[in-house]
Structure 1
């Protein structure tokens, strides 16, 4: 069984189909989708349907799903104008043509999406969320739980239960929206020996990641200027291992720069679905 992770598809269902065909995750594999299935692209409802059809899929909440729910459930946290400015029109149009039962079931499903997960390969644990974490707060919790991350120890000794409890204490706003605060400093989870959990997120398009992060493994784009997966933070203090990975390959930008990326955590293999003109 392998573990695949992707994020920020933003309504680009054809690119999603392309990357799934290329990677061909099996029925026994797990696929994590870290939110932002909707908005901006032409077919957000079709993206949701395709994602939900995957065997062993785990879907997390993104800030765009939260904006959608805030508007449609009238929570007062987000207004329709702001949602529209963030690409919500395509999603609203797709939802409007659903029959009442499918609409209600979809909204109810989306309301139940979790904000984080922990996945484990044979060699490492991965903390998955949409945007990032408050690393200082997280290390503080681990210290109270008996996991000392100071002096380059990292958090390899943290159990899955401790990591999940740590994430449950993070502010939802941080998990859904953070950028500079997360990318601007190491997590402290990966120790000098290179062991410890790595945080995998979307939300920040790789084509603009250099505004927030240093120690990027690449420039955030390929030779054609298209978005790519970016490991961040590898240095002597982490044993040369990136402690953060950005998997938002800039689908929100559309053509010609945007792509949908899919990463297999077990071996780091990456596939891309390219967004074409008119999509």
Structure 2
């Protein structure tokens, strides 16, 4: 079985709740479509769990893109003069990251010994830009956000990371007639015309699975591509 999850945002308890429901077997695969970090208290526990399981396939999200260069700076022990030592560009990037939820990741990361910090950085560096699966003759493209600078003739391999992690999809318009694109990034509560906000959204060859796990009223979601079954964790 192939399962998809996205936008965990440090919600370790919801993550473990959902894993318990999925009951993953060694032959199963779980794709996580990015945004494991930021906005929630325990991103490191989630990443360390993922690192131990080879059947969990990691796709990069915009929050990993923002976090990675800053986490590299935080690997050594941080002095009180840390911010003063940053270049103007590094300072701006660091400040922007903290404003978009990075503070929780910083706090969790700094609890780790230096060697474990290095392992986390190396692991995030290994995140893939996309995934692709064909199940029962149906092709699925698995990305964090969408396909920016879209063209029907453009192969998935031709998209840059930035084109895959930042865009907001117009879910009323399909990318393809024969390929289903599975994405996170945009909470289903924010999809215009969605009659069931906060749950997995399916329409026009889109499957949107960010159900706002970082929000108090949101939930973490997963879907099984083989069966179409949906799974939710709210506590």
Q: Same fold (TM over 0.5)?
A: yes
Structure 2 runs not aligned, ≥5 long? 74-86
Bigger relative CO (Cα 8 Å, ≥ 6 apart): 2
- With the length of structure 1 as denominator, give the TM-score of the two structures: 0.74
**Per-residue deviation, 1:55:** 4.3
Which of these residues, 63, 66, 86, is aligned with residue 100 of structure 2? 86
Equivalent position SS for 2:191: helix
2:4 equivalent to 1:44:
no
Report the 3-state secondary structure (helix = DSSP H, G, I; strand = E; otherwise coil) of the residue aligned with 1:10: coil
TM-score by length of 2: 0.87
The answer on whether the counterparts of 1:264 and 1:270 sit within 8 Å (CA) in structure 2 is yes
Q: Distance in 2 between matches of 1:60 and 1:71?
A: 19
**Residue 251 of structure 1: aligned partner:** 213
Are positions 1:170 and 2:169 aligned together?
no
- Distance in structure 2 (CA, Å) of the matches to 1:93 and 1:32: 26
SS at match of 1:183: coil
Q: How does 1:1-279 map to 2 (within 5 A)?
A: 2-73=1-72, 76=89, 79-134=93-148, 136-137=150-151, 139-141=152-154, 166-180=155-169, 182-183=170-171, 185-187=173-175, 189-190=176-177, 196-210=178-192, 216=194, 218-220=195-197, 227-233=198-204, 243-253=205-215, 255=216, 257-275=217-235
How large is the Cα RMSD of the aligned pairs?
1.9
Deviations 1:112-170 (A, max 9, x none): 21110101222312100100013742x133xxxxxxxxxxxxxxxxxxxxxxxx12211
User: Do the aligned partners of 1:28 and 1:55 also contact (CA within 8 Å) in 2?
Assistant: no
Conservation of the 8 A alpha-carbon contact between 2:10 and 2:36: yes
- Which consecutive residues of structure 1, in runs of 5 or more, have no partner in the other structure? 142-165, 191-195, 221-226, 234-242
Q: Distance in 2 between matches of 1:33 and 1:13?
A: 14
Offset at residue 106 of structure 1 (A): 1.2
CA deviation string 1:177-207 (max 9, x = no partner): 1004x435221x22xxxxx220000000111
Structure 1 position 57, deviation (Å)? 1.2
Q: CA deviation at 1:26?
A: 1.3
Contact 2:72 2:121 survives alignment (8 Å): no
